[in-house]
Amino acid sequence: MPDLCYATPWELAVATILSAQCTDARVNQVTPALFARYPTPSTMAAADPRELESLIRPTGFFRTKSRHLIECARRMIRDYGGIVPDQMEALLRLPGIGRKTANVILGNAFGQPAVIVDTHVRRVSRRLGLSRSDDPNRIERDLAGLFARSEWTQRSQQLLLHGRHVCVARRPRCVECGLVSYCPWYQTHSALATKG
Class for the domain spanning 119-195: mainly alpha
pLDDT of 122-144, one tens digit each? 999 999 999 999 999 999 999 99
First-to-last CA distance in the chain? 39
At residue 191, the pLDDT reads 57
The DSSP line for the chain is -TT---SSHHHHHHHHHHTTTS-HHHHHHHHHHHHHH--SHHHHHT--HHHHHHHHGGGS-HHHHHHHHHHHHHHHHHHHTTS---SHHHHHTSTT--HHHHHHIIIIIS--------HHHHHHHHHTTS-----HHHHHHHHHHHS-GGGHHHHHHHHHHHHHHTS-SSS--GGG-TTGGG-HHHHHHHHHHHH-
**Gap between the Cα atoms of 36 and 1, Å rounded:** 21
Distance CA(103)–CA(115), nearest Å, equals 6
Looking at the chain, the domain(s) classified CATH 1.10.340.30 span 9-109
Is the separation of the CB atoms in 173 and 161 below 8 Å?
no
Low-confidence ranges of the chain (pLDDT < 70): 1-2, 191-196
pLDDT computed for residue 190 by the predictor: 74
Q: What is 9-109's CATH number?
A: 1.10.340.30
- Distance from C-alpha of 145 to C-alpha of 131, rounded to nearest angstrom: 10
CA–CA dist 79, 182 (Å, integer):
47
| pLDDT score, position 194 | 45
Kindly list the catalytic residues.
100, 118
Q: Which residues of the chain form CATH 1.10.1670.10?
A: 119-195
